[in-house]
Amino acid sequence: MLNINKNFLKLKENYLFSDIAKKVKEYSKENPDKKIIKLGIGDVTLPLTKSTIEALNKAVIDMSKTETFKGYGPEQGYDFLRDSISKYYNKFGVKLDTNEIFIGDGAKSDISNITDLFDKRNIVLVPDPVYPVYVDTNIINGRKIKYIDSTSKNDFLPMPNKKQKCDIIYLCSPNNPTGSVYNKKQLEEWVEYALINKAIILYDSAYHSYISQKGLPRSIYEVKNAEKCAIEFCSLSKSAGFTGLRLGYTIVPNKLIFKDINLNKLWFRRQSTKFNGVSYVVQKAAEVVFTKKGQNECKAMIEYYMNNAEIITEVLKSKNIEYTGGINSPYIWLKCPNSMKSWEFFDYLLHEANIVGTPGSGFGKNGEGYFRLTGFNSEENTKEAAQRLNNIL
Amino acid sequence: MLNINKNFLKLKENYLFSDIAKKVKEYSKENPDKKIIKLGIGDVTLPLTKSTIEALNKAVIDMSKTETFKGYGPEQGYDFLRDSISKYYNKFGVKLDTNEIFIGDGAKSDISNITDLFDKRNIVLVPDPVYPVYVDTNIINGRKIKYIDSTSKNDFLPMPNKKQKCDIIYLCSPNNPTGSVYNKKQLEEWVEYALINKAIILYDSAYHSYISQKGLPRSIYEVKNAEKCAIEFCSLSKSAGFTGLRLGYTIVPNKLIFKDINLNKLWFRRQSTKFNGVSYVVQKAAEVVFTKKGQNECKAMIEYYMNNAEIITEVLKSKNIEYTGGINSPYIWLKCPNSMKSWEFFDYLLHEANIVGTPGSGFGKNGEGYFRLTGFNSEENTKEAAQRLNNIL
CA gap B384, B13 in Å, rounded? 34
Give, as one character, the DSSP assignment of residue A118.
B
Domain boundary among A247, A273, A290: A290
Q: Are residues A202 and A252 in the same domain?
A: yes
Q: Are residues A106 and A202 in the same domain?
A: yes
Q: Are residues A122 and A97 in the same domain?
A: yes
CA gap A284, A79 in Å, rounded? 11
Chain B residue nearest residue A123, CA to CA: B2
Does A245 contact B199 at a Cβ distance shorter than 8 Å?
no
Contact with chain A for residue B25, Cβ under 8 A? no
With 0-12 CB in 10 A as exposed, 13-18 as middle and 19+ as buried, what is B132?
middle
Contact with chain B for residue A123, Cβ under 8 A? no
Structure confidence by residue, pLDDT tens digits, B13-70 = 777 888 898 999 999 999 999 999 999 878 999 999 999 999 999 999 999 999 999 9
User: Does residue B280 register a pLDDT over 80?
Assistant: yes
User: Which string of DSSP letters, residue by residue, matches B64-87?
Assistant: HSTTT---S--TT--HHHHHHHHH
Does A6 contact B70 at a Cβ distance shorter than 8 Å?
no
Q: Are residues B70 and B40 in the same domain?
A: no
- Which whole number is the average pLDDT over B264-277? 95
Q: What is the pLDDT, as a whole number, of residue A16?
A: 83
Structure confidence by residue, pLDDT tens digits, A72-97 = 999 899 999 999 999 999 998 999 99
Say which of A118, A243, A270 has its CB closest to residue B2.
A118
Interface test with A, best of B246, B256, B297, B374 (most A CBs within 10 A): B246
Contacts of A269 in chain B (CB under 8 A): 8, 11
Number of domains chain B contains? 2
Q: Are residues B77 and B155 in the same domain?
A: yes
Domain boundary among B228, B256, B290: B290
The verdict on residue B215 lying in a domain is: yes
The verdict on residue A255 lying in a domain is: yes
Q: Are residues B211 and B273 in the same domain?
A: yes
Does B117 contact A5 at a Cβ distance shorter than 8 Å?
yes
User: Does residue A14 register a pLDDT over 80?
Assistant: no
Q: Are residues A163 and A271 in the same domain?
A: yes
Q: Are residues A59 and A141 in the same domain?
A: yes
Question: Which residues of chain A from 191 to 250 reach within 8 Å of chain B, CB to CB?
Answer: 197-200, 241, 243-246
Structure confidence by residue, pLDDT tens digits, A349-378 = 999 999 999 999 999 999 999 999 999 999
The dihedral through the CA atoms of A329, A331, A335, A341 has a sign that is negative
Contacts of B70 in chain A (CB under 8 A): 244
CA distance B388 to chain A (A): 24
- Which whole number is the average pLDDT over B211-239? 97
For A74-130, strand residue ranges (E) read: 101-104, 123-128
Structure confidence by residue, pLDDT tens digits, A280-289 = 999 999 999 9
Q: What is the pLDDT, as a whole number, of residue B242?
A: 98
Residues near A78 by beta carbon (within 8 Å), at least 6 away in sequence: A103, A280, A283, A287
Contacts of B262 in chain A (CB under 8 A): none
Q: Let me know: does B184 contact B223? Beta carbons within 8 Å.
A: yes
For chain A, strand residue ranges (E) read: 37-38, 101-104, 123-128, 144-149, 168-172, 200-204, 230-235, 248-251, 257-258, 261-262, 323-325, 331-335, 355-356, 358-359, 370-374
Structure confidence by residue, pLDDT tens digits, A216-247 = 999 999 999 999 999 999 999 999 999 999 99
Mean pLDDT of chain B: 96
- Which whole number is the average pLDDT over B90-115? 97
User: Does residue B85 register a pLDDT over 80?
Assistant: yes
Preceding amide of B32 cis, omega within 30 = no
Does A274 contact B113 at a Cβ distance shorter than 8 Å?
yes
List the domain range (segments joined by +) for residue A313: 14-43+293-392
CA gap B194, B167 in Å, rounded? 8
| Three-class DSSP category at A338 | helix
Question: Which residues of chain A from 139 to 198 reach within 8 Å of chain B, CB to CB?
Answer: 140, 167-168, 197-198
Interface test with B, best of A2, A3, A57 (most B CBs within 10 A): A2
Say which of B5, B137, B277 has its CB closest to residue A119.
B5
Q: What is the pLDDT, as a whole number, of residue B118?
A: 98
For the domain that residue B323 is a member of, what is the CATH number?
A: 3.90.1150.10
Q: What is the pLDDT, as a whole number, of residue A244?
A: 98
The verdict on residue A326 lying in a domain is: yes
Q: What is the pLDDT, as a whole number, of residue A12?
A: 82
Number of residue pairs across A and B with CB atoms under 8 Å? 232
Structure confidence by residue, pLDDT tens digits, B318-363 = 999 999 999 999 999 999 999 999 999 999 999 999 999 999 999 9
CA gap B225, B49 in Å, rounded? 36
Domain boundary among A259, A274, A290: A290
Lowest-confidence pick of A11-15, A60-64, A127-131, B309-313:
A11-15
Mean pLDDT of chain A: 96
Q: Are residues A164 and A148 in the same domain?
A: yes
Contacts of B116 in chain A (CB under 8 A): 5, 140
Q: Are residues B271 and B307 in the same domain?
A: no
Q: Let me know: does A369 contact A339? Beta carbons within 8 Å.
A: yes
Does B72 contact A41 at a Cβ distance shorter than 8 Å?
yes
Structure confidence by residue, pLDDT tens digits, A277-325 = 999 999 999 999 999 999 999 999 999 999 999 999 999 999 999 999 9
Q: Are residues B285 and B325 in the same domain?
A: no
Q: Let me know: does B56 contact A49? Beta carbons within 8 Å.
A: no
Say which of B56, B112, B198 has its CB closest to residue A273.
B112
CA gap B119, B109 in Å, rounded? 19
Chain A residue nearest residue B121, CA to CA: A3
Q: What is the pLDDT, as a whole number, of residue A170?
A: 98
